[in-house]
Amino acid sequence: MPPPDSLPPEPDLSLNGLAQPALHERAAALTRQEFGNRVFVRGVVEVSNYCRENCRYCGMRRDNRTLRRFRARSETLAELLLEHRPACVTDVNLQAGEDPVAVREVVLPLITTLRRETNLGISVCLGLLTPALYGELRAAGATIYIMKFECADAAKYAALEAPGTLTRRLEHIRLLAAQGWVVTSGFIVGLPAEQPADLAANLALAQTLPLRGCSVSPFIPGEDTPLCGAPTAPVDGTLNCMAALRLTQPRWVIPAVSALNLTGSDAYRRGLRAGANLVTINLTPPGLREDYLIYKRARFVMTEERVLAVLAAEGLTPSPVGLASLCGNAREPVRPSAALTA
């Protein structure tokens, strides 16, 4: 990470209209300079919607009694990923509510199978766990941990009832990096009562953490949450933050998050023009996917067809190199699925 005094000045995050394209074009040019026209393609499987936390912005919060809870079966997900994953997927992210039971019963066995049978890069997004459990996940074969800090203001973090405290969250990000994980994080743009200084603080905090990537997610008022009546985040601020991240961290992984689709008809493609270099295909089985309720039940699901169409429309191609290789944390390749090489 470059020292703070070597970073370019932060751009105006409120830019819109005619002034905005120049910022995004600078970020896109830097992305192409570093990565060419290749974009990482990751699959995500949502393994459990049980959650012990009560975040005011998330539909899976523990106080939501309307949600049908599930834990997927490890064997079902293994068959899906071994036999039916898209050929363009180089990495898979195993994601859940904060559910240590699912970590032990579903995630650890699944990682063990994937490490034995594939050369997929394996990411996990499982919330705050114990150092010992982080160690077990890493020993099983996962290499990337996604832990979002959501917002840089400790008081606002507490008001959102986000997991633990902001201080504890940041301690765990640093702990994971010290354990040898590649760590990526993220924050939300457009939270209620947000001020321009909050966005600048989010960007500044990200620069201080031992990260290899960061997401920028627009706030979407979630169904069955205390914030359901709040306005949706303006897409311009989200895209400007993505561009600012790229300009300060040319080698970071910056995803085009699926929530962009809920902010405007072309917002997802605009994300790829503002510095994003990662797209994600949702591989969660139908029947479970509908109850993984972060925002709305009427989800905009990024299928293989949609992702590849967007990349083609933007003149981009799937990267043959996975995220784990980019981050210098790839495991020894093992045999790929026969279904993918036949």
pLDDT of 100 reads: 97
Q: pTM for the whole thing?
A: 0.91
**List of the chain residues with pLDDT < 50:** 1-9, 330-342
What CATH number corresponds to the domain at position 138?
Answer: 3.20.20.70
pLDDT given at position 21: 86
Model pLDDT, residue 8: 43
Quote the number of domains for the chain: 1
The secondary structure element, H or E, covering residue 169 is helix 166-178
**pLDDT for residue 264:** 82
How far is residue 286's CA from residue 267's CA, in Å, rounded to a whole number? Answer: 25
User: Does some domain include residue 132?
Assistant: yes
Q: What is the mean pLDDT of the chain?
A: 91
What is the span of the domain harbouring residue 29?
14-329
Task: Note the pLDDT of residue 161.
Answer: 97
**Contact between 155 and 197 (Cβ < 8 Å):** no
Give the contacts of 103 (CB within 8 A, at least 6 positions apart): 96, 126, 129, 133, 137
9 within some domain: no
Reported residue count of the chain is: 342
- Residue 142's alpha-carbon distances to 67, 91, 162, 185, 330, in angstroms, are 29, 10, 25, 16, 10
CA distance 339 to 202: 43
What does each C-alpha distance from 131 to 176, 179, 216 come to in angstroms? 8, 9, 27
According to the model, what pLDDT value does residue 340 have?
Answer: 30
Q: What is residue 339's predicted lDDT score, i.e. its pLDDT?
A: 30
Alpha-carbon span 202 to 299, nearest angstrom = 27
Q: Is residue 7 part of a domain?
A: no
Residue 149 lies in a domain: yes
Q: Is residue 227 part of a domain?
A: yes
Q: Is residue 95 part of a domain?
A: yes
Residue 280 domain-assigned (yes or no): yes
Residue 289: inside a domain: yes
pLDDT of residue 15: 53
